[in-house]
Chain A
Amino acid sequence: MDFFSPSTRRTLIIILFSTVFLFGFLFGSFGQTEVVETDPNDVVIARILGDQHFSFALGPYIPLFSYDPNTGESESLIGSTADPRLSLGAIGTLRWGAFVNSVINLGLDLSWAFNVGANGDLLSQFAPLTARMSTYLRSGAFEFPLHLGLGMNILSYKETTILTPLVKAGGSVLWNPGGDWAFGFNLMYWWIPELYGDAAGSPGPSNNRFGNFLEVSLSALYNF
């Protein structure tokens, strides 16, 4: 499915990689290593209480499906070439976290994601505050955090703007090349309940849906 023209797609990819690696280049030179290197072939990453990190992630945001709890049926949110619904979108996330021990990291995420509707309208999802907990697995220079986040999401499309809960879960692969910087690949599943009551002006419970999206992003992470 061609949601972007080849030139737009190329530009987006260049911007994505440039941003991630520019961050890495600019801040990486000033960072301090927390990686203990006893041997070039034996990298050990140590995190202790109070270690913090800050990261920036950018990548495509994939609409999956919406689930109707009234009927139990699901509808594709991306549609087809002949019947498009939402385009492939993009997402950016700022993440702060602090370790409470060597494997548990607690923090906050701020994200903005967008997709474009069948008739060119912007579906905006701004999640200004998501509480997140991550559990880290490690192997050599690689870390494999598993994330679970709970927050709020300002969902906006055409004349409708609503505040919804947000649950996201996923994992990352982080590569620590040897400085304070790490670079990673993230997969996050977004679950967005859109629930209405019977209040006047509300579309009503028949419009209740659970939106499902997938974030695929690359990130640059600074440990301090």
Chain B
Amino acid sequence: MKSYLPTALILLLILIFSASCSYGPTGIFAGIEVERKIVEIDTGLPGNTVQRLVTDGTNAVLSNGQIFKRDTLPAVTWKKIDPPSGYIGSVDVGMNATDIFTVFYNASGTGAYSRAVGGTSWSEVTLAAGYEAQGVLTAGSTVYFVAREDDGQWAVLSNVGVLVPNFGNLESFPVSAIDTGSGILVLTKTKIHLSTDPINTVLEIADRDFYGISNSGTDVFLTTNEGYIYQTDNTLAAPTLIGSQIQIDSTPVPLRGIYAVDNNTLYVGTEGKGYYKVTDASTTPVITRATTRTLSNLLDTSVYASTVSGFAAAPSGLYMMAPGNGLWYGNTTNAYIEWQALTPQD
């Protein structure tokens, strides 16, 4: 009997220790292989909501109520660019290779301004009579001002000197624009317009509200409030559904911003559910909610339960905008993205 005692004790120990096991999302050594040191930097960027971030690949400019600019990651901090005299703060921002375009506001209204990327002063941009600037859209190398018409409808303006409508009489606010190479596409809630005059609605999908648009170079990808991702070509011919409706607990997930790395790799923001990564989008799409956690800190919780309104290209990675929860930078060269907070979070 006694000879069985040590064996029984060992088995009991194994049982006790096994019962106290707890698993994380990855194995321990597998997690250590991909974990990267998170560098804390003081970005000098206040506020946790970035309305829009635009980049020319090297410089980045954002609007979070004020205009901030930074050069490259991670060496420099964001530097505030003061508004012109008489204005309180910014509504929106856009940029191309040479200039920054903004809409500033004060108690009496808004004003459209531009300055050289390396410049030191703002120049007012004159809009055609009857229009008030409300936003800025960047489509490739072209920047447009969004304006409210006297009759309450919306227009997208561009030109040299006095800005005139390229797209007029839009029924809802134009949220973004892209240059597909075949033309400029302007996205509103329910319609996508091609850059022709008079405006030409090139795509509507019944019972779908658009939120995000991104161009991979050859294809266009769209997100909807109903949880669908569509793929089409640069002429917006017959969109096809990628995968199926995205749901959590049988409830559709409202989708927001989208960023197409290429035709097969997409990042898709959601309302309050973090973001999804789509792989093999053009063939056999795999849509996975991002669970590539760092295992290390609170970045996980705050990113993966956030609303993600959009993405922008950054050196070696992506910027991610999470309204109310900060601006983030993720290095996408690693197998697992580890998001680094660039602004304070709630």
Residues of chain A whose beta carbon lies under 8 Å from any beta carbon of chain B:
66, 68, 75, 77, 83-86, 117-119, 121, 123, 128-129, 152, 154-163, 194, 196, 201-203, 206-211
Partner of A77, one of B27, B29, B297: B29
Within 8 A of A (CB), among B9-34: 10, 13-14, 17-18, 20-33
The CA of A160 and the CA of B33, in the complex, are separated in Å by 15
Least Cβ–Cβ distance between B307 and chain A, in angstroms: 25
A77-B29, A121-B296, A203-B30 known; A85 vs B24 contact (CB < 8 Å):
no
Least Cβ–Cβ distance between B340 and chain A, in angstroms: 12
B36 A157 Cβ-Cβ under 8 A: no
* Chain A interface mostly: strand
The CA of A207 and the CA of B28, in the complex, are separated in Å by 8
Residues of chain B whose beta carbon lies under 8 Å from any beta carbon of chain A:
10, 13-14, 17-18, 20-33, 35-38, 294-297
* Highest count of chain B CB atoms <10 Å: which of A75, A118, A129: A118
A161 B30 Cβ-Cβ under 8 A: no
The CA of A123 and the CA of B37, in the complex, are separated in Å by 15
In addition to A162-B23, A203-B30, 10 A-B residue pairs with Cβ atoms within 8 Å of each other are A66-B32, A86-B32, A117-B296, A118-B35, A119-B296, A119-B297, A121-B295, A207-B26, A209-B28, A209-B30
* Chain B interface mostly: loop
The CA of A208 and the CA of B33, in the complex, are separated in Å by 12
A119-B37, A119-B294, A159-B295 known; A128 vs B26 contact (CB < 8 Å):
no
Chain B contacts for A203, CB-based, 8 A: 23-27, 30
- CB closest residue in chain B, given A83: B36
A163 B21 Cβ-Cβ under 8 A: yes
Least Cβ–Cβ distance between B341 and chain A, in angstroms: 14
Partner of B37, one of A118, A129, A201: A118
B33 A75 Cβ-Cβ under 8 A: yes
A119-B297, A163-B18, A163-B21 known; A129 vs B27 contact (CB < 8 Å):
no
